[in-house]
Amino acid sequence: MVNVIIDETSPITLVGGASFEQNLLKMALDRAPTSVGADGGGAALVAYGQSPLAIIGDMDSLDPQLAGDFPKERLHVIAEQNSTDFEKCLQRVEATAVIGVGFLGSRVDHQMSAQSVLVRYAHKRCILLGDEDLVFVIPPEFCLALEPDVRVSIFPMAQGQIVSEGLYWPTSGLVFAPAGQIGTSNKSEGPIRLLPDGPNMIGILPLRYFDQVLDGLLAAPKWPILKSKD
């Protein structure tokens, strides 16, 4: 049984160890001042002047000096190697939404791993911020009041379908799959409405729509927990 470490009734900022621009952290903290570090991401928070509620991970990349100085009751070492630090955190953090910074860095393998974790924990309402784009799992019904010609990409992490309104290239009736039909580089004609048939569709939008996407996720119905994460 995995014990919840952080239980918040508002969004939180979760920071990982990948490199990122400081404006991303400011953007996240402006909407979610409460923060948690994922292993080495805790150092980035402390360097930014934050005092994270917790640092969670296997601690293979956290500076030993910082680990020694950080309050012991807020340092949570999870030694198992069957999950990433990102997954360790999502397992143990409850919040209305999670804004992730430092998970979409230069390493493609880390980015792919993070996307895999997103769909396994789709009920967590998690947005990952990158230098140009943001990434999230599209909820059961998702509405955004976009202007025309906004890039809206949909990438399937498993086979499924998604009904859409307001996209230049309609998706209704298509079967999406990672090795088949995908929906990248679509665009809006105005406000959009998306209704996927399962928690397997990744949405990718330009970073400048972060506030709208977060508000849309908070207003949208949540995916149920599909299986135990113990």
Q: Which tens digits make up the pLDDT trace of 177-216? A: 999 999 999 999 999 999 999 999 999 999 999 999 999 9
Q: What are 150-181's pLDDT values in tens digits?
A: 999 999 999 999 999 999 999 999 999 999 99
- Is the C-alpha dihedral spanning 65, 71, 72, 77 positive or negative? negative
Q: How confident is the model at residue 110 (pLDDT cuts 50, 70, 90)?
A: confident
What is d(CA 135, CA 22) in angstroms, rounded to the nearest whole number? 18
Q: Is the pLDDT of residue 16 over 50?
A: yes
pLDDT at residue 229, rounded to an integer: 44
- pLDDT one-digit tens code per residue, 91-109: 999 999 999 999 997 788 8
List phi, psi (to 5°) of 176.
-95, 150
Q: What is the spatial distance between Cα 220 and Cα 97, in angstroms, rounded to a whole number?
A: 11
Give Cα separations from 92 to 5, 31, 124, 133, 136 (angstroms). 5, 21, 11, 26, 19
pLDDT at 230 over 60: no
User: What stretch(es) of the chain map to CATH 3.40.50.10240?
Assistant: 7-131
- Answer for the pair 16, 38: CB distance below 8 angstroms, yes or no: yes
pTM of the model: 0.94
List Cα–Cα distances, 213 to 57, 63, 143, 144, in angstroms: 28, 34, 9, 7
What is 7-131's CATH number? 3.40.50.10240
Q: Give the mean pLDDT of 71-90.
A: 92
At residue 227, the pLDDT reads 66
